[in-house]
Homo-oligomer: A and B are copies of this chain.
Amino acid sequence: MTEATFLPAERAKLQSNTNPSPRSDPMKLRHVIESQQFTLPLLMELFTRSRGMERIVARGGSLDYQNRIMAALFYQPSTRTRLSFEAAMQRLGGRVLSTEHARAFSSEVEGEQVEDSIRIIGSYSDVIVIRHNETGGAHRAARVSPVPVINAGDGDGGQHPTQALLDLYTIYRERSLDGLSVAFIGELDKGRTVRSLAYLLAKFERIKIFFVSPPELQMKPDILEYLDEHGVRYELESDIDRVIREVDVVYQTRIRPERMKDTQNLKRYAIDSAVLQRMKPDAMILHPLPRTVELDKTVDTDPRALYFRQAVNGLYVRMALLTMVLEK
């Protein structure tokens, strides 16, 4: 969902706190479609709940969701994201309906509209988690759904807000978010998770962002304009070395070699033990995973490597989100 296609009035409706309905609790979420929805107080509420979920899981407990059903409706396979949401719902004590082939929704009709599917699945379930292959797919779903919709990634140019929320939570668990400097590295023009996280970072004070990528894969203007409007400092870079010594967070993403002009440069955007030595001793290395060559396995044992911690934090953040949208 690009900024342009999502009208302000519609964005407001995603949260009932901007909706003059009886359900006007400002901490209330209806749908989770894009990062920009999340106000600072809502983020803090989410993070407080996520901490609570850590404690519940640690003591092997669960919550009282045994009569609630989450439908995972994936139009593209993404086993890890799907299982993370399914585990979150089950750790709450809830139940799951699941498909990773929603495009083959029927053996009969090609090109069925997502709206019809959502209306129907929404009559079976209490919340729908959707991964859609088109940008804006989750928003189309939310417009007609009788139950809350959570965006689990929509299109190459869309968002993946729960990934961004778990990324932010992972940093938040380590240090204050104000004053943070972050390097996003990789294939940024199609970086759904980077886009979603940039929107969230703009809510904090004195943030500095470095977008590090080959010029042909740099971050798109819509995000840069958003950062300008919100007074966030950023720089476009093509050389890791110029930023690696000063950043607090290295947010690494993959680069598909076939999208680079010069694949000889691929190694210049990778993190390995040599790059590690130049990083701050208290830096954090994040990666949404899966990885290929851009993140060497020798990094795994470094205490600054937080990417497996991101995965487990994803469980807590998704549990917390589910409790928020399922609240009556």
Given A71-B83, A80-B120, A83-B124: A95 and B90 within 8 A (CB)? yes
Q: Which residue of B lies closest to A126 (CB)?
A: B60
Stretch of A235-243, A267-275, A287-295 with 4 or more beta carbons under 8 angstroms from chain B: A287-295
**Pairwise interchain contact B97-A90, C-beta atoms closer than 8 A:** yes
Near B by CB (< 8 A), chain A positions 290-310 give 290-292, 308
Q: Which among A123, A124, A308 has the greatest number of chain B C-beta atoms within 10 A?
A: A124
Q: Which among A79, A100, A254 has the greatest number of chain B C-beta atoms within 10 A?
A: A79
**Pairwise interchain contact A311-B123, C-beta atoms closer than 8 A:** yes
Q: Is A260 an interface residue (CB 8 A)?
A: no
A320 to chain B, nearest CB (A): 15
**Pairwise interchain contact B69-A60, C-beta atoms closer than 8 A:** no
Given A99-B100, A109-B254: A90 and B117 within 8 A (CB)? no
**Pairwise interchain contact B79-A86, C-beta atoms closer than 8 A:** no
**Pairwise interchain contact A77-B101, C-beta atoms closer than 8 A:** yes
A27 to chain B, nearest CB (A): 22
A173 to chain B, nearest CB (A): 15
Q: Give complex CA distance A108, B78 in Å.
A: 9
Among candidates B79, B87, B101, B292, residue contacting A105 with C-beta atoms closer than 8 Å:
B79
A116 to chain B, nearest CB (A): 6
Near B by CB (< 8 A), chain A positions 68-120 give 69, 71, 76-80, 82-84, 86-87, 90-91, 93, 95, 97-102, 104-109, 111-112, 116-117, 119-120
Among candidates B108, B117, B124, B289, residue contacting A87 with C-beta atoms closer than 8 Å:
B124
Given A77-B104, A315-B124: A69 and B97 within 8 A (CB)? no
Q: Is A67 an interface residue (CB 8 A)?
A: yes
Q: Is A135 an interface residue (CB 8 A)?
A: no
Given A99-B83, A292-B109: A312 and B123 within 8 A (CB)? yes
**Pairwise interchain contact B289-A116, C-beta atoms closer than 8 A:** yes
Q: Is A121 an interface residue (CB 8 A)?
A: yes
Q: Give complex CA distance A106, B100 in Å.
A: 11
**Which residues of chain B come closer than 8 Å to A90, judged between CB atoms?**
69, 95, 97
